[in-house]
Amino acid sequence: MNDRIVFEDVSKFYGEILGVNRVNLSIPPGITSLVGPNGSGKTTLMNLMTGLVKPTRGRIQVLDCKTDDPENLFKMLGYSTQFDAFPKGLTGFQFLYSYLRLAGRDSRTAEQMAWRAIERVNLVEAAERNVAGYSKGMRQRIRLAQALSHDPKVLVLDEPLNGLDPLARAEMIALFRSAAAEGSYVIISSHILHEVDVISDQVILLSNGYVVAEGQIHNVRSEIQEHPTQILIRSSRPRELAAKMLQYEHTIEVSIHKDEHGLLLKTRDADRFYLALNDLAVSGIDIESIAPADDDVLSVYEYLIGTEEAVR
Amino acid sequence: MKRIWWEQIKAVIRLELRKTFFAKRGLWIYGVAALPVLLFIAYAIATSNQQHRSASVAAQGNRSLTYQDLLAVKTGMTSEEVIAILGKPPLNFHWTENRRNGPDATVDVQREDYHYSDGQNDLFVGLADGKVASIHISNGFNPGQDSVMFAGVFQFFFLRLAVFFGCLGIFMNLFRGEILDRSLHFYFLAPIRREVLMVGKFLAGLLATCTIFVTSELLQTSAFLWHFSARQSDVYLYHNHGLEHAAIYVGVTVLACIGYGAFFMVAGMLFRNPIIPAAVILIWEGINPFLPTLLKQFSVIYYLKSLCPVDIPSAPGTPPVLALLISNSDPVAAPVAVLGILGVALIALYVSSIQVRRMEINYTTE
């Protein structure tokens, strides 16, 4: 029994255009974010995972299912795409109901499941209106409802927070977290890095069709050797602390915080820094808190992909 | 077949029928289907007027005539002999014709036209200088002739154009239309086998085309019979195989929808531009009479023509190429024809099933 979403040496070319190349992934349960600039291959990876496009090379397996077996794949997978088109003439409810009937549910069950999904995305009042008249946010929500409607084990969500207002974003994030907490696989693509940082258990960084890094943010960060680790230290005596820290060979740079109650330190060896800090604490320097300053998606993204593409 | 597949097929049909019947891009199909109906309505109105006119002419005559009376008039008879047989003509025209008689000479000819009727059939007699020069009988009710006319419209307009292009419009859009609307992924994201989806879409297209064109066919028959009196309808339907022919035409229409539908569905998956396959299939169907027997079997019209109940005779003097188009050379037996169409459709559906499994959602390249 396979409990991962596995990509083995997967490449996808659209004619001569590269979609993704030589992707090897093993995605565990939890929230996994695909991060990368436009055209980096996020949507291609999702389309490959859901069988909407076929790999030019390699093999993909979603838990125990192959992606060319939609009958079984979509029993356990829901995909909210970025495609902003719907079958014509359907209301929000009919859209979900039809989808569930296509899935083979009987009328009564389909109706119940459709309404439950509509309630989960807070779209009850608009459910009987034609989807063509929905706002962008409502269309996003009805797509999410479709993906969620059959309680899938794997949720693939392409830019799911696009077009949602702050309240709806918070609700959706809570929804994703709750699904992940129940053991589901939630794969999200996003270019809003601070949201990714907040919700992700692990990230996959993509650039120009290649996977640049994958794993938990902290682990990914610690593997980036060429950029010094930045640490924010809160202390009532920052200048004294800075002077002491500069005596260590692994310290590269220290700057005093604007409020004079802390300092930002750059070190090339985080482990040795923490050992040294213990010594300083024992020697009586007051240290209120220590926090990594670049142990987040944004920093990792900037280090690996570049600052100009990063979207805050 | 798994029960769930049948449920899924029904779900696809429900969705597709709504789109097929009410799609704006398919409204012209109703127009195409209505054209032959309008043609027969116009024919019925014209024939009805003709019948009223014949009845009026017959009523104006000073004696009641039979069809045999009308046939009794021969060329060369004098006007007195004609009047002796048929009585004084209810309608007549006379004029003087200045006819050329040599390079410089002319001669005056006294011309007369007599118009008689037995109430249904009209006799037009042309006289020159008091002698019958021409005779023309216009039959008011001729079930054999009407059958041939109906067969001509059915074979050369309804089957080859209306059903052909109607199927093109509906079946090609089953997948191609969804790609253009960027909504095909809706189906591809459901837990449904692609082949089951294809069958559902095909059946939806078939249901739509059969509804439209069988309705058209029945309306054509009704319009065709409209000007018949109750007795004439009875004669045509029950004694002249009219009812049997109508049933066969309905069956041929359904088979045409199956055959062309399967062709156009696979074409819609293989080609982005429908004009190319439509032109190729239209030409292939058109040149069918000139193809060797083996190749003929890979067309729909070959089998459909074999099933049509009325042969259309070529008029004397028809060019050989046109005569070949009209004639039904190498017809096959009805069971073979039915199996042939179903076989051709099954081959096309098999190709569709392979193609639908290969399809990818990549709207940006469309």
Domain boundaries, chain B: 3-49+142-365, 53-138
Contact B115, B123 (CB under 8 A): yes
DSSP assignment of B196-209 equals HHHHHHHHHHHHHH
* Inter-chain touch B183–A88, beta carbons under 8 Å: yes
Return the closest-CA partner of residue B268 out of B203, B347, B358, B178: B178
Residue in A closest to B19 by C-alpha: A88
Residue A117 distance to chain B (closest CA, Å): 16
- Give the separation between CA B82 and CA B116, rounded to whole angstroms: 11
Question: Cβ of A104 and B14 within 8 Å?
Answer: no
Which pLDDT score is estimated for A21?
92
Does the domain at residues B53-138 carry the CATH identifier 3.30.1450.10? yes
> How many CB atoms neighbour CB B52 within 10 A?
10
Confidence of residue B1 (pLDDT cuts 50, 70, 90): low
Name the residue of chain A whose CA is nearest to B3's CA.
Answer: A104
User: How close does chain B come to A225, measured CA to CA in Å?
Assistant: 39
List pLDDT tens digits, range A148-203.
999 999 999 998 988 888 888 888 889 999 999 999 999 999 877 777 777 888 88
Q: Which CATH number fits domain A229-293: 3.30.429.10, 3.90.950.10, 2.30.110.10, 3.30.70.920?
A: 3.30.70.920
CA distances (Å), A284 to each of A16, A237, B46, in order? 64, 11, 115
Choose the closest CB to B362 out of A14, A73, A78.
Answer: A14
Class of domain A5-222: alpha beta
Report domain extents, chain A: 5-222, 229-293
Give the whole-angstrom CA distance, residue A205 versus residue A131.
34
CB contact under 8 A, A70 and B193: yes
User: Could you say which of B182, B358, B362 has the minimum Cβ distance to residue A85?
Assistant: B182
Dist. CA A7–CA A13, nearest whole Å = 16
- Give the dihedral of Cα atoms A183, A185, A186, A189; nearest 10 deg: 150
Contacts of A56 in chain B (CB under 8 A): none
Q: Are B47 and B223 in contact (CB under 8 A)?
A: no
Print pLDDT tens along chain A (312 aa): 688 999 999 999 988 889 999 999 999 999 999 988 888 899 999 999 999 999 999 999 999 999 999 999 999 999 999 888 898 889 999 999 999 999 999 999 999 999 999 999 999 999 999 999 999 999 999 999 999 999 999 999 998 988 888 888 888 889 999 999 999 999 999 877 777 777 888 889 888 899 988 887 767 666 666 677 888 888 888 888 888 888 888 888 888 888 888 888 888 887 788 888 777 777 777 888 887 777 777 777 777 676 544 444
Q: Choose among A14, A70, A101: nearest Cβ to B194.
A: A70
Tell if the CB–CB gap between A52 and B358 is shorter than 8 Å.
no
